[in-house]
Amino acid sequence: MIVIVAPGQGSQTPGFLSPWLELPGAAEQLGAISDGVGIDLVAHGTTSDADTIRDTKVAQPLIVAAGLVTLAALGDRRALVGGIAGHSVGEVTAAAGAGILSETDAVSFVRERGRAMADAAALEPTGMSAVIGGDEAALLERLAELGLSPANFNGGGQIVVAGALPALAELAENPVAGTRVIPLQVAGAFHTRYMQPAVAGLELFAAGLEKHDPTLPIWTNRDGSRVESGDHFVQLMVGQVSSPVRWDLVMESFAAAGVTGIIELAPAGALVGLAKRGLKGVPTVAVKTPDDLSAAFDLIDGK
């Protein structure tokens, strides 16, 4: 069984959408998405600098737009995959890919999500860092001492932590034994209590969206379980804003389901990297540019 995975915030790099605009229909699709969010995603995906596309209000729609363009480029082969999941904001892409939300509603949701999280992040200076290696129990104890929170349990020996910038700096200066701390290019402490102000408004907005039950198996960041109800999946996406992402449990569910290959949508790379450590031996394809589509087709076709 081949599954599609959609990456989260932090995967974007300057100019990454440029090669996608050469695909037939891609410029029109991106233009329509740009109109839907009121942001020129074509410009941000081709000419904007790293600081500009780090802005949460820009980054989240940009990442989802890239995923939707990649899904469209997969064409009829999407019907041959066995499931889909997204990491953090990638769950919005996955919801569209599974038919839970229309592309228009997915874009509207991510627009509101990005705005709400940016507003919450502006209340206090916070950030996130990836911690690689070490003992998890020792790390969690250290986080509690510093007032930091685990935000993403990514599997493969990686946990992303979040909180106040001075506390993150202290963790980097005095890391837990056996760990490496890498600051991330994000604008706030996502998936923690700092994002709670974003939840209520997003919940109200999501209530007005039309939801459908998934046409593909889809797994949630909440606990890695498969979700059968479209309405419930959207509720989980809202709550995910201020709760940890359990990608480690998603990968465990992949293993239990017998996943035989993983295709990561643009801007790809992060999730196949985690899979290489957490799902050793499972073939992966990172679709970073249209040149990678042939490898994705071959994986789906079993070649």
Burial (CB count <10 Å: 0-12, 13-18, 19+), residue 287: buried
Catalytic residue among 88, 242, 243, 253: 88
- Given a contact cutoff of 8 angstroms between Cβ atoms, the answer to whether 123 and 65 are in contact is no
CB atoms within 10 A of CB 102: 15
Neighbours of 76 (CB within 10 A): 6
Whether 87 is catalytic: no
Determine contact, residues 56/117, Cβ cutoff 8 Å.
yes
CA 133 to chain centre: 22
Cα 30 to Cα 63, 132, 254, 292: the distances in Å are: 11, 35, 31, 19
48, 108, 191, 253: which one is catalytic?
A: 191
CA separation for the pair 287, 67 (Å, rounded): 10
What sign does the CA torsion over 229, 231, 236, 237 have? Answer: positive
Please compute, for residue 11, the number of CA atoms within 13 A of its CA located in the half-sphere on the CB side: 32
> CA of 187: how far to CAs of 30, 102, 118, in Å?
24, 28, 8
127 within 8 A of 186, measured Cβ to Cβ: yes
Q: Kindly list the catalytic residues.
A: 88, 191
